[in-house]
Structure 1
Amino acid sequence: MTRSTPDSAPAFDSRYPRELPGTFERVMPTAITNPHWVCWNSALAEQLNLPIEPDDDALRALSGAGLFAGTDPIAEKYAGHQFGVWNPDLGDGRGLLLGEWSDADGRAWEFHLKGAGKTPFSRFGDGRAVLRSSIRELLASEAMHALGIPTTRALALIGSDEPVQRERMESAAMLTRVTPSHIRFGHFEWFAYSNQPDQVAALVEHCLTHHFPQCRNAAEFFNEVVERTARLIAHWMAYGFCHGVMNTDNMSILGETFDYGPYAFLDATIPDFICNHTDAQGRYAFHRQPEVAFWNLQCLAQALSSQVGSADLKAGLNRYADVYNQHFLTLMGERLGLTQLDERDQELISDWMHLLASERRDYHHSFRALADRDPQQWTELDDDFIDRAAFQRWRSALAERRLREDRNGVPLAQSRNPVSVLRTHLAQSVIEDAKKGSYASLKEYLSALQSPFERREQWHVWSETPPEDYQAAPLSCSS
């Protein structure tokens, strides 16, 4: 099938298919009908030094009707453990790796088209993404990036009037996802379980060359993946993010948040919160994410056993808890205005989390309310708590602790506690507007999430908590 290439398009490279033959299938995108622009992330485009404008040429290329020069679309093959059960039949079922663009600093970024149609790995799926889930990924990835949480990014979102059947009839969309690498734990698992040690070795070498040049061998590569994963999960827990589907095929080797589906940020502080309605046993409940990530790393260790000795794998895994605990302590301390943290501060943080959970306080507003006040003003918050005495004891302990620091904790805390928060009910209101063809609220919410620590009057609605009678329902994987 012949495709037109925009005359002004930049040249892409295709290192993955060139260096890793036999690990993918070449597939041309299937264009969506009557495409139109929903969102173009100009800030990301500028960061990438990308000579592309949101014009008709780009619309064709990012809706499946055209290709940029140098792109070689492929569907990658991988596998994974889904809810703890091995599944060898996974791969890019609705997305295609288009190619790699190098920014002004020479760093390569993979462009991935989500919703690009059926592939050999679609199984019974239609290969499409829908507008609803694409908006949710756009909002989430930009919100996470602005909070300093490692994540894939969303460059462009294209809408369409093409009907797609999910729980109900919806409209198709295509989202362009950008990240240095789409390699997952499940890539290594597939080659290991299918007895292809040469492919495991080739994949490790590819990662060392292009993504982990600081690592000298597979053991150091594994150590780095462990540490990045530990820091990522600490970020999730510190900012109340629940992924919902932490299968090994959704775990990035880069330690980035990957594959947004039925995710949610906490509203009320509920440690065992479940955001995925298919997760009947609560395997991926919010409070279980640190242990699940470790379980997933054990799966990766097993997949790398042909390349790394057992002692080195064990040593790498043993690093996880220390890295996670230290990073979580640092992040939570900064949210409370503290920088000189030690193990004694763990009790202070634990008591705060217990207090929030026992009263199901709003996770984000509780932190920001502290951040917006000097310690002597925290008495204003006493009546917000049912157990006033418990809060008074805790705030007094934090105030005393803040006095031992040399710096003012208010600016630090305000720079770590968002005003505008990605909430399920607000995202849904934006989606409802988009279904009617209005994208104004989407653009405004996106702007607020991209500057989450900034307070603006016109962004007030994006800092509101849910109505008292609102209870977030678990979401489906099509979310």
Structure 2
Amino acid sequence: MALHIPFDNTYAQLGSGFYSRQRPAPVAAPQLIAFNQTLADLLQVQAGDLVEMAEVFAGNQVPEGADPLAQAYAGHQFGTFNPQLGDGRAILLGEVLGTDGRRYDLQLKGAGRTPYSRQGDGRAWLGPVLREYVVSEAMFALGVPTTRALAAVSTGETVWREGGMPGAVLTRVAASHLRVGTFQFFAARGQTAALRQLTEYAISRHYPQAEGPMGLLRAVRDAQVRLIAAWMSVGFIHGVMNTDNSSISGETIDYGPCAFMDHYRTDQVFSSIDRMGRYAYSNQPSIAVWNLAQLATALIQQLDDPQQAVEEATEIVHTMPALIETEWLRLFRRKIGLETAQDADMDLISDLLELMEQGQADFTNSFRALADGRAVDYFRDSKAFEPWQARWMQRREQEQDPQAIMRASNPVYIPRNHRIEEMIASAVAGDFTLFERLGTVLQQPFTEQQGAEDLQRPPEAHEVVTATFCGT
């Protein structure tokens, strides 16, 4: 059976100013590491034999109907604007329509140099490819909006970073790869006609009910509100929330130095390049607001009377913090078993988080243990936890089934940082057992699975990951 991808491309029709046509660069000896059959079924992608799939998902063969290109965009990187970025190591093969009626991009990451590569080699090494594969699929299972992974392929070539690393290519699936930086690219150049064209395309593709640029801004705001609150609820830290990594669709995109918290810390930072903590765990909501303000600035420039839209755009942006807090509170209520809302709930949740930080309690396991009455085991000072527990138990008596709410809201398993690093080290040595095992267990993160207790365990002192890296 031959591999078949039913491409239906639209982005390529926008015109050459939006991208550069670029075929993937062939690799020496591609081998298929993983293929996501469930996702393939959604995308109506018909699998072929292993050799053919390795050739296609490595970029050696361009499948029929594909229209490969590298997208252009700009972006604020750690607050500094760069007017020329773009896909430096990723090539969009094309788009497909899923069985759910939605449109999806298929993109090869690590497929070689493009006109936007600058000094880069356009390649990816095995570690970041497997990290994104596992973490993005885990995020999907956790219910967090995200790009997904269709395939991973080793290239048989060496990629040089700190040293020689095995090369790999990831096939990433996204609702689109439109970013805040895509709009900034045209706004910075004063290309208002292209900006209008991009705005109309984004509305048609993602938010057909939105009316005009301000309608798009409001829709993106609401999608980002849901995304950031979801990140916070599972202890996820993106690490590089630049505007070129901020998706218009409201999906988690560009898993570089991402990580999950072990013990709770509001100022937790893992990214090795985030030296000032700009993208720390607790800063993610405010950074999302800042990024939306940059989108507003870009969108306004296409209007005949920009000054007229400033007031509306300002209102849209300024309401975002309160909306994030409301969604955050809804999700964290559920994490402690509450479905109904009371005024004192914010204090109850905040006091628990303060106790967790003081007691260095494991974020994931402490919340999960609330349903089983074992949360006290995760606090160094049990006596400090007990008064809060008494308040909470009194409050939850007003709920019908708090245990069920908590079990559906608090995962047993997350992609623990130390397990991800262990998986990468094993894979570099040629052993993909842990990669496959993580992929299986993390598909059902809310269900306790026999024999997977080690994947629930926080790291020992010698296993703690203190820094994560982009891998570019």
Give the TM-score taking structure 2 as reference length.
0.96
Match of 1:449 in 2: 442
Q: 1:432 to 1:470 in 2, by over 3 A?
A: closer
Structure 2 gaps of 5+ residues are 304-308
Match of 1:428 in 2: 421
CA distance in 2, matches of 1:109, 1:103: 7
Matches within 5 A, 1:384-399: 384-399=378-393
Aligned pair 1:312/2:306, yes or no?
no
- Report deviation, 1:206: 0.4
CA distance in 1, matches of 2:377, 2:177: 48
Give the TM-score taking structure 1 as reference length.
0.94
Which segment drifts farther, 323-332 or 43-52? Answer: 43-52
Q: 1:345 to 1:462 in 2, by over 3 A?
A: same
Match of 1:362 in 2: 362
Q: Which amino acid aligns with 1:76?
A: Q
Match of 1:225 in 2: 220
- Report deviation, 1:429: 1.2
Q: 1:444 to 1:21 in 2, by over 3 A?
A: same
Asked whether the equivalents of residues 226 and 319 of structure 1 are also in contact (C-alpha less than 8 Å), the reply is no
Tell me the secondary structure at the aligned position of residue 269 of structure 2: coil
Aligned pair 1:353/2:353, yes or no?
yes
CA deviation map 1:97-147 (0-9, x unaligned): 110111224321110000000000000000001100001001110111111
CA distance in 2, matches of 1:381, 1:223: 39
CA distance in 2, matches of 1:382, 1:90: 49
Q: What's the % identity of the aligned pairs?
A: 38
Match of 2:459 in 1: 466
CA deviation map 1:347-385 (0-9, x unaligned): 0110011000111111111111112x1xxxx3x554643
Aligned residues: 467
Tell me the secondary structure at the aligned position of residue 121 of structure 2: coil
Aligned pair 1:437/2:422, yes or no?
no
Q: 1:390 to 1:441 in 2, by over 3 A?
A: same
Tell me the secondary structure at the aligned position of residue 461 of structure 2: coil
CA distance in 2, matches of 1:216, 1:382: 51
Match of 2:193 in 1: 198
CA distance in 2, matches of 1:274, 1:10: 40
Matches within 5 A, 1:130-149: 130-149=125-144
Asked whether the equivalents of residues 183 and 198 of structure 2 are also in contact (C-alpha less than 8 Å), the reply is yes
Match of 1:475 in 2: 468
Which segment drifts farther, 271-280 or 348-357? Answer: 271-280
CA distance in 2, matches of 1:112, 1:68: 13
Match of 2:146 in 1: 151
CA deviation map 1:375-425 (0-9, x unaligned): xxx3x55464333333111111111111112x1111111111111111111
CA distance in 1, matches of 2:312, 2:144: 28
Tell me the secondary structure at the aligned position of residue 151 of structure 2: strand
Matches within 5 A, 1:5-404: 8-53=3-48, 55-307=50-302, 309-371=309-371, 373=372, 378=373, 381-382=375-376, 384-404=378-398
CA distance in 2, matches of 1:139, 1:364: 18
Tell me the secondary structure at the aligned position of residue 9 of structure 1: coil
CA distance in 2, matches of 1:8, 1:267: 41
Match of 1:3 in 2: none
- Report deviation, 1:217: 1.7
Tell me the secondary structure at the aligned position of residue 170 of structure 2: strand
CA distance in 2, matches of 1:381, 1:8: 49
CA distance in 2, matches of 1:7, 1:451: 31
Structure 1 gaps of 5+ residues are 1-5
Q: Which amino acid aligns with 2:446?
A: F
Tell me the secondary structure at the aligned position of residue 333 of structure 2: helix
Matches within 5 A, 1:399-410: 399-405=393-399, 407-410=400-403
CA deviation map 1:263-319 (0-9, x unaligned): 100011111111111211111111111111111111111111124611221121122
Q: 1:277 to 1:212 in 2, by over 3 A?
A: same
Asked whether the equivalents of residues 238 and 332 of structure 1 are also in contact (C-alpha less than 8 Å), the reply is yes
Which segment drifts farther, 153-162 or 98-107? Answer: 98-107
Aligned-pair Cα RMSD in Å: 1.5
Q: Which amino acid aligns with 1:50?
A: V
